[in-house]
Chain A
Amino acid sequence: MIRLEKRPQPSRLWTIVTPLLAVVLTMVVGGIMFALLGKPPLEAIRTIFWDPLFHPQFASYSRPQLLVKAGPLILIAIGLSIGFKAGIWNIGAEGQYIMGAVTGAAVGLAFYPSESVLLFPLMVIAGALGGWAWAMIPAVLKTKLGTNEILVSLMLVYVAENILASASASWLRSPEGMGFPGSRNFKQWPAVHNDELIANTGMHWGVVCAFIAVIAAYVLMARHIQGFNIRLTGEAPRAARFSGVTPARIVFLCLGISGALAGMAGLFEVTGPAGQITIDFNSGYGFTAIIVAFLGRLNPVGILLAGLLMALTYIGGELAQLMLGLPGASIQLFQGMLLFFLLATDVFTNYRIRFAKGELA
């Protein structure tokens, strides 16, 4: 029987080896799946992992796109990870992302067609506030009434989706849109267009903010007293209370940060890559970010890498569909397998495997 023996400290070697091992395992099993689907397995794997980075035809375009796709994932995941560390389960980032985009866009459109340089920063603040306010609903309910934040934040996603639909079909609808749903396109409004800062790098303000968030989260969690309080609340709530940490403050802080970051991500997305508020503006970033947060082991640098890896599988998956005609569902399954293998091999980081006689606990 296999027995696990907890390591005194996570193994540094295995921390680096396990992601690679997981990727290799995914390639093997994924390759078998692709073969079963009648597609060339090696080519499929190469297309997903290699071509977005190095294909002569696509790479110059898709490499920057990795940042565009990973940016919002990282920004949201960083916020979520802080809450998760404290044991606060905000799984409604998708709703906060939507509300950030809607609020920010609404504030901007109220000043249309202003060319003021102050407008874009104002919209970013409004977007952050929109996401923050949406996250404050579960925060207030949790601290005042003890209501479970997982459920409230999740339900608010559906409410936000309805608000988004009504915004794009009526009150934010473009007056020049001939009655069709969808707001004005921010890409055609240079003052607020969140364009690439340097051409062909994919770097827009959202990506910059994601990098800043990674650094800030690292500093907060490793160096700042509030970071210590957050971790303490998550690991030993009673001890935290004895040492004078107010649980309610931690709830407000964590949900506030994650809501504001998700809201900002929404605003950067709507003024940048997406361009406009539409009925289907949200495309699951808020949920995927939860996966990214855990793939990155709630560690800021880990989240950065996990976000990029996730983005790679998305873009590589698109190329595989395009060039090899793989069904979209197989890409989804492939991503699920990658996640499973990463989680499964993680056991080597924290435990030693011993083969011994004995019963399953």
Chain B
Amino acid sequence: MKRRTLLASAAMGLALAAAPAFAQDKPKIGFVYVGPVNDGGWSQHHHEAAVKMKEHFGDSIEMIEQESVPEGADAERVLTQMALSGADLIFTTSFGYMDPTINVAAKFPDVKFEHATGYKTADNVSAYSARFYEGRAITGYLAGAMTKSNKIGYIGSFPIPEVIRGINSSFLHAKKANPDVEMSVVWLSTWFDPAKEADATQALLDQGVDVVLAHTDSTAPLSVLEKAGGFGFGQAGDMYDYAPEPRLSSIIDEWAPYYIDRVQAIIDGTWTSQNVWQGIGDGMVGIGEITGPVPEDVKATVLKMKDDIASGAYHPFTGPINKQDGSAWLADGEVAEDGVLAGMNFYVEGLTGDIPN
């Protein structure tokens, strides 16, 4: 078996040696999306950022895109075809593309890759993700301050660290605004199913929840809240269409500055592999305008919180924080390490229910 693999990779190397012959003078930038580019959420915002990047550079670069690419084997093929077509830099914009990106990158050492929200890197693969939990501190605080029933809801997709961080950050800050607040979490086992997201929002409202935080991608929760009453937040995009109510604010994925930055590095020939986790301060996480009947003092508090997070003066996970079972996690004043946050798989104290396993 081992010999076979060795032979295979040697032959692959030979076959691909011809590839750079197709390299063009204009840098060619590729983007791969997991959903359709008009999904109203995750993929759409990557696509919009890509378009902004293209506008920034105009005709000096060429851009190619591929939408609705399933993770796994199909992704690997699509990435290989992009590399073969002469792409110089390829952004792979979903967590599930991590291993395919690493595999394809190993075969094309001259092509650079940027993988979103993963943790693996290589000489020609960077990883980039956003500290969305910083944004969730803001929306969580607003949720806590605005609830009248003292019940807020969180619509989760899958129990992965990214979502659990979001839940914990929202809840901790909702509690800061309102010590009596309770949070219900509903898991949907999907990133995108507008009907299910709408049903989940309705179910939360039926249970007495009046502010809903969503970690799924569509605007369905806001549509339901607009109809049935209650507050919500923009997710991935500003969703300003739903302002001033039910949308109170939003967590915006701001990928464009990063894309422009990295493409510039390709043009300048200064691109090197990196692993970045950027937040409000770096401009990768945007906070939408605060709208609706948010009292001035609450508004001032969250804007200050936003500035403090941006400047580094405040970290959303600052002790004392206990884990759900009551055991100590962070001592007073202690700040969570990135390593722990990256793999977060526990609830903080006060949350009810179990993380599905």
CB distance from B162 to the nearest CB of A (A): 9
Which A residues from 165 to 206 make CB contacts under 8 A with B? 165-166, 169-171, 178-182, 185, 187, 190-191, 193, 195-197, 199-200
Known contacts A178-B119, A179-B344, A193-B1; A169 and B160 CB within 8 A of each other: yes
Q: Which residues of B contact A356 (CB under 8 A)?
A: none
Q: Does A279 contact B (CB under 8 A)?
A: yes
Q: How far is the CA of A136 from the CA of B311 in the complex (A)?
A: 60
B81 touches A280 (CB 8 A): no
Q: How far is the CA of A58 from the CA of B4 in the complex (A)?
A: 24
Task: Kindly identify which residue among B65, B73, B81 contacts A58, using a CB–CB cutoff of 8 Å.
Answer: B81
A181 touches B158 (CB 8 A): yes
Residue of A whose beta carbon sits closest to that of B8 = A199
B contacts with A, residue count (CB < 8 A): 51
CB distance from A103 to the nearest CB of B (A): 18
Which B residues from 78 to 130 make CB contacts under 8 A with A? 78, 80-82, 84-86, 95-96, 99-100, 103, 118-119
Instruction: Pick the interface stretch among A104-112, A268-276, A290-298.
Output: A268-276
B66 touches A165 (CB 8 A): no
Q: Hey, what's the 0/1 contact readout for A54-71 against B, CB within 8 Å counting as 1?
A: 000110111001001100
Q: How far is the CA of A315 from the CA of B66 in the complex (A)?
A: 12
Task: Kindly identify which residue among A181, A182, A318 contacts B66, using a CB–CB cutoff of 8 Å.
Answer: A318
Q: How far is the CA of A61 from the CA of B12 in the complex (A)?
A: 10
Q: Which residues of B contact A62 (CB under 8 A)?
A: 77, 81
Q: Does A281 contact B (CB under 8 A)?
A: yes
Which B residues from 134 to 166 make CB contacts under 8 A with A? 158-161
Task: Kindly identify which residue among B15, B96, B160, B189 contacts A60, using a CB–CB cutoff of 8 Å.
Answer: B15
Q: Does B194 contact A (CB under 8 A)?
A: no
Known contacts A117-B1, A169-B160, A178-B119; A322 and B103 CB within 8 A of each other: no
Q: How far is the CA of A181 from the CA of B98 in the complex (A)?
A: 11
Q: How far is the CA of A225 from the CA of B159 in the complex (A)?
A: 51
Known contacts A165-B158, A199-B11, A279-B96; A319 and B81 CB within 8 A of each other: yes
Q: Does B67 contact A (CB under 8 A)?
A: yes
B72 touches A283 (CB 8 A): yes
Known contacts A57-B22, A57-B84, A283-B70; A315 and B36 CB within 8 A of each other: no
Q: How far is the CA of A180 from the CA of B244 in the complex (A)?
A: 36
Q: Does A327 contact B (CB under 8 A)?
A: yes
Q: Hey, what's the 0/1 contact readout for A289-318 against B, CB within 8 Å counting as 1?
A: 000000000000000000000000001001
| Given pairs A190-B2, A199-B15, 4 additional interface contacts (CB within 8 A) | A169-B356, A179-B343, A180-B118, A196-B8
Q: Which residues of A contact B (CB under 8 A)?
A: 57-58, 60-62, 65, 68-69, 117, 120, 161-162, 165-166, 169-171, 178-182, 185, 187, 190-191, 193, 195-197, 199-200, 269, 272-276, 278-281, 283-284, 315, 318-319, 321-323, 325, 327-329
